């Protein structure tokens, strides 16, 4: 079995606590204890400050989502670009659900939502840190498919869309983490319905 490095243990413990309690409510002492570390200095050794740790967690989560979004969007653009809004939404929404065995994958969306309220500057920096900018490229493509609407309506609906999508995915993370009604939240069916209903929200 692969041994988890101390820095990764701290990251996993911190993100779990942040997702459950909020960033401001979690102390350095709690993180160190949850990571199984005896020395309070361990977090400062690896991350200097709690804010720096939050920033690194956001960068990790953003990279995990944006890397796949970038690859899929680049592929679409090589074929002439997305032909439908559904194609864009599939990339935008489904890439927020990161696969793999990293325990943080079931709290990435919640981390971003909480940080958006408590540390919005760090969220902006994390999203902009990746050269592909697939998140914003997706939003631009959505705007192209909504040109029959007034500009202010488009921006309002894009804002509502993000609230709807990311809060839905956040609830999904909580349900799967706490094993509440897992059959409802597991698999591709829920994501397909989320994509379809999001299209309706944007184009209605």
Answer yes or no: are the C-beta atoms of 54 and 23 closer than 8 Å: yes
Closest listed residue to residue 85, CA positions, set 3, 2, 176, 204: 204
Alpha carbons 171 and 190: distance in angstroms, whole number: 12
Per DSSP, the three-state class of 197 is helix
Superfamily of domain 60-203 in the CATH hierarchy: Tetracycline Repressor, domain 2 (1.10.357.10)
Containing H/E element for 167?
A: helix 151-178
Q: How many CB atoms lie within 10 A of CB 34?
A: 16
Show the low-confidence residues of the chain (pLDDT under 70). Answer: 1-4, 130-132, 180-183
- State the pLDDT at residue 187: 74
pTM here? 0.87
pLDDT of the residue at 37: 87
**Interior angle at CA 57, CA 127 and CA 115, nearest 5:** 65
The pLDDT, as a whole number, for residue 42 is 86
Rounded mean pLDDT of the chain?
89
Domain ranges of the chain: 60-203
Dig out the tokens for 13 from the structure: 């413990």
CA distance 90 to 87: 5
The C-alpha angle 63, 117, 61, rounded to 5 degrees, equals 15
The number of beta carbons lying within 10 Å of the beta carbon of residue 126 is: 24
> What crossing angle do the helices spanning 108-118 and 50-78 adopt, rounded to 10°?
120
Buried b (16+ CB within 10 A) or exposed e, 162-196: bebbbebbbebbbbbeeeeeeeebeeeebbeebbe
pLDDT of 1 reads 34
Q: Which of 108, 72, 107 is nearest to 92 (CA)?
A: 72
């Amino acid at each position: 079995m692969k041994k988890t490095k101390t820095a990764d243990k701290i990251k996993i413990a911190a993100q779990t606590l942040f997702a459950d309690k909020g960033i401001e409510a979690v102390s350095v002492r709690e993180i160190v204890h949850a990571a199984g570390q005896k020395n309070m200095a361990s977090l400062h050794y690896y991350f200097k400050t709690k804010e720096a740790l939050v920033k690194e967690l956001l960068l990790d989560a953003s990279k995990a989502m944006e890397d796949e979004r970038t690859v899929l969007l680049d592929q679409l653009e090589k074929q002439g670009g997305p032909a439908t809004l559904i194609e864009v939404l599939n990339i935008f929404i489904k890439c927020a659900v990161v696969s793999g065995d990293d325990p943080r994958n079931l709290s990435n969306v919640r981390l971003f939502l909480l940080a958006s309220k408590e540390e919005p500057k760090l969220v902006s920096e994390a999203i902009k840190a990746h050269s592909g900018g697939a998140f914003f490229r997706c939003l631009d493509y959505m705007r192209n498919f909504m040109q029959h609407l007034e500009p202010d309506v488009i921006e309002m609906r894009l804002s509502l869309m993000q609230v709807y999508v990311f809060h839905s995915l956040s609830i999904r993370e909580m349900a799967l983490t706490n094993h509440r009604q897992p059959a409802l939240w597991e698999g591709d069916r829920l994501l397909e319905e989320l994509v379809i209903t999001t299209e309706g929200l944007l184009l209605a």
